[in-house]
Amino acid sequence: MQVKSENFNQVINIALEQILATILPKLLSVPSPCFLQRDAAVVYNEWMAGIMLAGPPLRSIIKLHFNHPTLRKWSYSQEDSKINDQMKEICNILSGTFKYYLERVELQVGISLPFIASGMDEALFVDSRKESAAFYACNIITGDQPLMTFSHELEVMDKKKIANLEKLPEIILSSHTEPDSDDGMEML
Amino acid sequence: MSQINFDLQASHCIISILEKSKIIAENLYRDLPDFYLIIQSDGMVLKGNNIAAKIFNCDSELLLGLQLQNLFKPESWNVFKSKIDTVLNNPDKSVDFELILGTDPEREIIYYWNLRVTRQQSDKTAPMVSVIGRDITELRRHEKKLMEMFACMPIGLITLDKDGVIENPYSAYSEYLLAQSHLAGNNLFSVLFRHCCGLSESEKEGMHNLLKFYRMQFSTYELIEDTFPKKIKFRYESDSKIIERHFGLTYQPIVFENEVRRLMVLIEDRTALVQLEEDSHRRRVLEDKHIQRIVQLKTCDNEILPDIVSEIQSLVGLCRNLIQSRELQDLANKLHGVKGNARLGEFKNLVDLAHSLEKGVLNGSILESDLTKYFGELEKEWSELLGLYNALFAGGSSNIVLPRKNSYLVFCKRIEKQVELTAYRLSKKVRVEFSGHGQDLPEELYSEIGEVCLHLVNNAIDHGIEPSDERKKLGKLETGLIRIYLEPREHGVFVTLSDDGRGLSPERIKNSAIKKHMIKEGETLSDETLYALIFQPQFSTAEHVNEVSGRGIGLNAAKKLVEAKQGWIKAESLLESPGAQFSFFISESLQESGRRAA
């Protein structure tokens, strides 16, 4: 039975924001980013990097909406393809770290390869999301300038099994240590 | 987990392949030469191509969130916004329009816009509108140039839309030709064909076919094009003037997908050409008449020609005087004489003119005020003939009439010729015999005697001598006979002219006189008195009028001629043989008589 849960979503969002705050300065030359929640029903930009996580208790899609001219200021490369690779890598690390913490609360999920898509897809096919999925979006601001937008969709399949999810922010905060990039990751 | 991983891997593959295809498609529109945007209903830009980014002066990936409104002047944006609303209200239809892009009045660019609602899966998002704009500034500039050239062409050039209505632009010269302004929006019929005169039935049908050209198959159009009016006479009346022109019309269909969608009509002013043609035709007619006159003069008997010319010259002069004095009966008599002499010379045009003038004078169809004009035509014809006669026979002197050869021989030839012509015209066979002492007559009397005899001969052939088949039935010779006897007497000449025809019928003369109210019914008159009636003006027993006689002119003219010479004339039926006899006496003037005696 599918279960909709805003509470679980909120927990996961906090967790993902914490992870992003940790990894973004390492992968882009940005100072500490801040997160500003968006109310817009549709979130998109010129491009979108995404990755899917799926397991018996939940399904999740994590997306970063960006455009190349903005990221050129912060990226180590000026080439669009390299920037795309960089954004895919951010998605990959974000999902890998997330998977690591999910396993810490005994939730097993698999991860897809990251992908790049046109940002317009998000605007044109927003209804393809299931009604049962929870949606979250925030603008990532660096300094006083928008850097990109992060969005996340979560569909809980088994509410009982994800009960431990509430411990996740605490675990992340207490860990303070970066997980081994290969430890516990299941590469496809 | 392996199944999950497999599913994820499969989803990733599908997304990647689809995305590659889509990126290729997006690259295509990015490089479109036209302005391309996807906007929200409020004009906020969601996405655009490189041309749009160039106009916004930013990177194409930074177009998101910009306002299209910023590219327009406020009044232009209001128009654009209304078009967005229109397309949103009718999502299945696109909207096309022209609008100037740019806020700088010095540098306005004309764009042709196409708006349509973007098909999207979501109904949660606000509707999106795709905007395609094409810079047509250069196109319009060239069009303007072409229109200026088109408008200045010195020919009428108009195009018709599907309803046969004139479209803009058309050549300005068309307005001049048709003498009307603001042609656009008017039907071709109302500005052109309504003012045409002399269209044949087939041309009228062609005119209606012309207005049915729209969406006609080109092959069908080619069949009906032949019926379209090609040469027309245009007559336009405005308050202050009447304009008459001759137009040549050429039709050029504008064909699209094998259907006629528009019709171009080329109007050529042929007025000068037509006038030239008419002048040329008139010249040809004149030349033909000139040649005809020469032939007439050349083929006329040389012996009688001077006599005929002299006689006509004299009669034309008399006619001129009679017109001035308004003596119409005498005028008709003299014209009859002109006609008879002209017939003798076989001057056909002169015969026709004299005949129609005589007829018009008698029946009153020619007003007195118009007499001079119609007589002028006769005089002109005669003047031409006389000029040629002088040129051919008098060494080119135009004012000299050759002296007539007043002789018995010429007199006889004139009469014989007259008998021959009149008999031929009336399909009868008649011969003439002369007896007496004609050769002894005073020369100056041959003319008067000849003139009287011409009228009497015509009368005898037309009324007296029967047609050949009738004569045969009566046991008469097939060829009728006219006998002319001339005898010089003291101070004059006595002449009898008899025929072997049906003779005078006192009964018919009486009935005719009653009908004309010359005598009363029941009134008893001697034959001699009755016969005298036939010399009265416009008296005739003929039931039908022909070109030779029947109007009661000839005998009256003869009487007038005789009386003018202090003579007399009478008619009688012959007792000893069938037929009628006319006798007359003409006096010689005292001066002539004395001169001859000396």
How much is the average pLDDT of B331-346? 86
Is the model's pLDDT at B361 over the cut of 90?
A: no
Both tokens of B267, joined, read 């109007």
Q: CA–CA separation, B384 vs B575, rounded Å?
A: 49
The string over B103-119, giving b where at least 16 C-beta atoms fall within 10 Å of a residue's C-beta and e elsewhere, is eeeeeebbbbbbbbbbe
**Which residue does chain A place closest to B123, by CA atoms?**
A127
Dihedral over alpha carbons B432, B435, B437, B442 (to 10 degrees):
-20
Q: How confident is the model at residue A87 (pLDDT cuts 50, 70, 90)?
A: very high
What pLDDT does B267 receive? 92
Of the listed ranges B166-180, B281-295, B512-526, B544-558, the least confidently predicted one is: B544-558
What residues contact residue B470 under an 8 Å CB cut-off, 6+ apart? none
Q: How confident is the model at residue B512 (pLDDT cuts 50, 70, 90)?
A: confident
Q: Which of A2-16, A143-157, B8-22, B72-86 has the highest mean pLDDT?
A: B72-86
Is the model's pLDDT at B332 over the cut of 80?
A: yes
SS3 B440: helix
Dihedral over alpha carbons B270, B273, B274, B276 (to 10 degrees):
160
**Which residue does chain B place closest to A110, by CA atoms?**
B5
Q: Is B22 on the interface with A (CB under 8 A)?
A: yes
How much is the average pLDDT of B260-264? 88
Among B1, B15, B123, the residue with its CB nearest the CB of A115 is B15
At residue B200, what are phi and psi to the nearest 5 degrees?
Answer: -75, 170
What pLDDT does A185 receive? 43
Q: How confident is the model at residue B51 (pLDDT cuts 50, 70, 90)?
A: very high
pLDDT per residue over A124-133, tens digit each?
A: 766 555 667 7
SS3 A178: coil
Among A69, A108, A113, the residue with its CB nearest the CB of B61 is A69
What pLDDT does B542 receive? 60
How much is the average pLDDT of A93-117? 89
Dihedral over alpha carbons B448, B452, B455, B461 (to 10 degrees):
-120
What average pLDDT is seen over chain B?
A: 84
**Which residue does chain B place closest to A45, by CA atoms?**
B64
Whether the complex's predicted ipTM is more than 0.95 is answered with no
**Min Cα–Cα distance to chain A from B41, Å:** 14
Mutate one of A43, A46, A65 to test the B interface: name it (highest B CB count within 10 A).
A46
pLDDT per residue over B534-581, tens digit each?
A: 888 777 666 555 555 555 678 888 888 888 888 899 988 877 778 889
Confirm if B186 and B165 have CB atoms less than 8 A apart.
Answer: yes
Q: Which of B11-15, B42-46, B169-173, B519-523 has the highest mean pLDDT?
A: B42-46
Does B84 or B398 have the greater pLDDT score? B84
What does DSSP assign to residue A74? Answer: T
Strand pairing class (A115-118; A110-111): unpaired
How much is the average pLDDT of B354-370? 83
Q: How confident is the model at residue B595 (pLDDT cuts 50, 70, 90)?
A: low
What pLDDT does B80 receive? 95
Burial class (CB in 10 A: 0-12, 13-18, 19+), A83: buried
**Which residue does chain B place closest to A123, by CA atoms?**
B125
**Reported pTM:** 0.49
* Chain-chain contact of A118 with B19 (C-beta, under 8 angstroms): yes
Strands (E), B194-345: 196-197, 216-217, 231-237, 242-256, 259-269
Among A42, A117, A123, the residue with its CB nearest the CB of B15 is A117
Confirm if A110 and B8 have CB atoms less than 8 A apart.
Answer: yes
How much is the average pLDDT of A118-122? 79
How much is the average pLDDT of B318-323? 87
What pLDDT does A183 receive? 46
Q: CA–CA separation, B481 vs B188, rounded Å?
A: 72
As a whole-number percent, the residues of chain B with pLDDT over 90 amount to: 19
Q: How confident is the model at residue B433 (pLDDT cuts 50, 70, 90)?
A: very high
What pLDDT does B406 receive? 62
Confirm if A47 and A117 have CB atoms less than 8 A apart.
Answer: yes
Confirm if A140 and A150 have CB atoms less than 8 A apart.
Answer: yes
Tally of CB atoms within 10 A around B395: 9
